[in-house]
């Protein structure tokens, strides 16, 4: 079985680390699986990759802290680079002929770069299962709904995907017997417990310690 994975890679390390962890789990569960990740993440080659996973590196795009998208390395315009990445996606899908395409976060890819690939698979290789992968918490409900409406993501998901996978735990417990946390991490009697996350990498730099 062949799995092609599209990894959203415009900011930070959290997305690509999560994708590699998911791929590692799938490889353990399905010994005959081969995974090809397509990503522009500049950190992918620095991660410890499991046996059975290979990748194709795309030209880097990235967002600054203000959210502005730019080309990280090449002396090219954003739209030109998006078109190049889109062409690479189509070529990889056509030659790799995956049994499943797993798409991280954005239904049509960054700035729509995956739309042509989705159209090709739907038209010429309908047996390829198309799966959209979402985090359990993307943003506030209001912000997420507004973004999906603005980009028409719901219609794309309905027309081009067979399934939507939501990654996350349905429950969260601080109990040591479930989490194997060391004793020093356990709750203090009589005090409320709070769990705080600061994203996977650059997005958490502005978080300050509580005093």
- Walk me through the domains of the chain, giving residue ranges and CATH numbers: 2-167 (3.40.50.1440)
Tokens standing for residue 83: 């078109």
Of 39 and 65, more confident: 39
pLDDT, residue 151, reads 93
Q: What is the pLDDT of residues 137-190, one digit of tens each?
A: 777 888 888 999 999 999 999 999 999 998 877 665 443 444 333 454 445 566
End-to-end CA distance of the chain: give it in Å, rounded: 51
What mean pLDDT is reported for the chain?
84
Which of the four pLDDT bands, split at 50, 70 and 90, describes residue 204? low
Q: What predicted TM-score, i.e. pTM, was given to this entire model?
A: 0.79
Tell whether the model's pLDDT for residue 59 goes beyond 90.
yes
Which of the four pLDDT bands, split at 50, 70 and 90, describes residue 211? very low
CA gap 53, 38 in Å, rounded? 11
Q: What proportion of the chain, given as a percentage, has pLDDT over 70? A: 79
SS3 3: strand
Of 12 and 61, more confident: 61
Closest CA to 45 of 31, 37, 98, 24: 37
Q: What proportion of the chain, given as a percentage, has pLDDT over 90? A: 59
Cβ atoms of residues 34 and 52 within 8 Å = yes
* Mean predicted confidence (pLDDT) in 115-125: 98
């Amino acid at each position: 079985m062949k799995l092609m994975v599209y990894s959203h890679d415009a900011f930070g390390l959290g997305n690509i680390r999560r994708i590699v962890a998911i791929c590692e789990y799938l490889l353990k569960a399905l010994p005959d699986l081969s995974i090809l990740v397509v990503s522009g993440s500049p950190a992918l080659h620095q991660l410890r990759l499991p046996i059975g996973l290979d990748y194709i590196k795309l030209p880097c795009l990235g967002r600054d802290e203000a959210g502005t998208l730019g080309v990280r390395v090449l002396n090219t315009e954003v739209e030109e680079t998006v078109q190049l990445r889109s062409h690479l996606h189509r070529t990889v899908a056509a030659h790799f002929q995956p049994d499943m395409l797993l798409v991280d976060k954005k239904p049509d890819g960054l700035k729509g770069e995956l739309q042509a690939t989705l159209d090709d698979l739907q038209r010429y290789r309908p047996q390829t299962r198309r799966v959209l992968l979402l985090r359990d918490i993307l943003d506030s409900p209001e912000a997420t709904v507004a973004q999906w409406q603005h980009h028409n993501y719901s219609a794309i998901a309905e027309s081009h995907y067979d399934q939507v996978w939501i990654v996350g735990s349905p429950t969260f417990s601080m109990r040591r017997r479930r989490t194997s946390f060391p004793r020093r991490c356990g709750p203090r009697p009589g005090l409320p417990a709070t769990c705080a996350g600061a994203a996977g990498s650059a997005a958490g730099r502005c978080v300050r310690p509580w005093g």
